[in-house]
Amino acid sequence: MLFVTFALQIFMVDLQTLKQRYGILGNTPSLNYALQIAMQVASTDLSVLITGESGVGKEVFSQVIHQLSNRKHHPFIAVNCGAIPEGTIDSELFGHEKGSFTGAHDSRKGYFETVNGGTIFLDEIAEMPLGTQARLLRVLETGEYIRVGSSKVLKTNVRVIAATNVNLKEFIHNGKFREDLYYRLNTVPIKVPALRERKDDIVVLFRKFCVDFADKYRRQPIQLDDAAKQVLVNYSFPGNVRELKNIAEQISVLSTDKELSAAALMRFMPDGKIDAFPVAINNSNSNGNNFANEREIIYKVLYDLRKDVNDLKHAFGNALQGNEMPMQFSPNNNFENNSAPINFNSTNNNAANQHQPIVLQHAPVVEETLNIAEKEKELIIKALKKYKSRRRDAALELGISERTLYRKIKDYGLDDL
């Protein structure tokens, strides 16, 4: 028992040293477990697949693994697979020979050749084309690859660490990711927890960011009162640590108060509304534990939405009953700017019928399509028209990589736009 306690103390000391070395803050068990796995697997050459939402710091884990490995004196390179166009990613990774394609004026070494002996971190691995996935699988299995435009087999000794923020099993099911490559990369999985799963670390991280930005901009660090801390802790942070850091920087620059209240903090949160939070915030007379859960908030939003729809229907019904139509009629019984005819059941113009309710024969309603692919195609067309076919700007507007946009344009036959 004494030996186990001593070993645990040594592990905690090493873990704290590791956190200080890489600027990792927090003591959530899920975070500590992910770091423990990274420390244990670092001394091996096993492939590692790091999963987690965007902004959680997956690249930091890849650097930890590399620096604690026997390859630490060799090169380390991080490659964002989603940022490289589909037509050039093979050349970037494996190199090419002179004249192998248009613009290949000279031979070029790829990352697997220049990083030989070191570590390559493939971020957004799900964005890698299927053809390139097959080449990568061969490298992982045999250490062999071929330059684009060459027939000579080359060897490399590179450790591959991959990362993704999507569910690769769904991509496999949809035919967008190779199953054999998934199991080859997923030798050792590491899941980096989202910030909302590390509630105890949020205030600590925020304080650290505020101190750093205070030094950078020569200001006094921002402090939060208890209510403001509760607001911060209960925000969902879809952008994770990256979003928290951006909020801290914005507050450090723009806030004139040294200590922020909950109301003051809300002005800097996305949308500036309490509705942006997944947990309801009670008044100051309630204790800190009296918060509704997310399900209750969803129910409340749905209830309010139904109430608004019913109120709208009631108001429109009253307008019909009182002959106070919210729209103008043309003489041929059509709505203005509307070609669908509206027939009335009243043909008598005497006084007794002047105040009778008007009954409308409803025109057929054409339902909007709910097909996801059609909606996606429609959004892509709008983005391309908005930016006059500038695909880089359109990709930024749509929130996808330029390579993904090129692929979808090809899939939907939008090359003429």
Identify which has the larger pLDDT, 131 or 319: 131
DSSP-assigned letters across all residues of 27-81? --HHHHHHHHHHHHHTTS---EEEE--TTS-HHHHHHHHHHTSTTTTS-EEEEEG
* pLDDT one-digit tens code per residue, 244-301: 999 999 999 998 888 899 999 998 888 644 444 444 444 444 444 434 445 445 555 5
pLDDT over 60 (residue 159):
yes
Q: Are residues 321 and 398 in the same domain?
A: no
Question: Which of 262, 292, 322 finishes a domain?
Answer: 292
Find the range with the poorest average confidence among 28-37, 161-170, 229-238, 323-332.
323-332
pLDDT of residue 303: 58
Q: Residues 82, 145, 135, 189: is their CA dihedral positive or negative?
A: negative
- Res. 196: pLDDT tops 70: yes
pLDDT of residue 297: 53
| pLDDT at residue 367 is higher than 80 | no
At 67-102, the pLDDT tens digits run 999 999 999 999 999 999 888 899 999 999 988 887
What mean pLDDT is predicted for residues 169-174?
94
What is the number of domains present in the chain? Answer: 4
* Residue, of 20 and 349, whose pLDDT is higher: 20
Cross-strand partners of 335: 329
155 and 80 co-located in one domain: yes
Does 311 fall in a domain?
A: yes
Both 42 and 186 in a single domain?
yes
The answer to whether position 383 is within a domain reads yes
Instruction: Using the 3D structure, point to which of 151, 176, 193 is the last residue of a domain.
Output: 193
pLDDT on residue 300: 55
Residue 5 lies in a domain: no
Q: Considering the domain boundaries, does residue 3 fall inside one?
A: no
Q: What is the rounded distance in angstroms from the CA atom of residue 108 to the CA atom of residue 119?
A: 19
**If you average pLDDT over residues 104-129, what whole number do you get?**
93
- Residue 366 falls within a domain, yes or no? no
pLDDT at 302 over 70: no
Q: What is the residue-averaged pLDDT of the chain?
A: 80
Residue 90's pLDDT is 93
- DSSP of 239-276: THHHHHHHHHHHHHHH---SEE-HHHHHTTSGGGSGGG
Is 88 in the same domain as 74? yes
Is the domain of 219 the same as that of 151? no
Query: Do 106 and 72 belong to one domain?
Result: yes
Q: End of a domain among 193, 223, 250? A: 193
**Co-location of 280 and 317 in the same domain:** no
What are the pLDDT digits (tens) for 12-27? 448 888 888 988 989 9
Same domain for 142 and 125, yes or no, is yes
The CATH number covering residue 403 comes to 1.10.10
User: Domain span at residue 216?
Assistant: 196-292
The residue among 362 and 57 whose pLDDT is bigger is 57
User: What's the confidence (pLDDT) of residue 152?
Assistant: 92
Residue 179 counted as domain residue: yes
- Tell me: do 326 and 404 sit in the same domain: no
Residue 124: predicted pLDDT: 95
**Are 162 and 75 within one domain?**
yes
Q: pLDDT higher for 282 or 239?
A: 239
Domain membership flag for residue 14: no
Using a 10 angstrom Cβ sphere, with 0-12 exposed, 13-18 middle and 19 or more buried, the burial of residue 5 is exposed
In a domain, 352, yes or no: no
Residue 28 has pLDDT above 50, yes or no: yes
Q: Are residues 202 and 188 in the same domain?
A: no
Q: At what angle do helices 2-22 and 29-41 cross, to 10 degrees?
A: 90
The proportion of the chain whose per-residue pLDDT surpasses 70, expressed as a percent, equals: 74
Same domain for 99 and 187, yes or no, is: yes
* pTM, 2 dp: 0.63
pLDDT on residue 89: 94
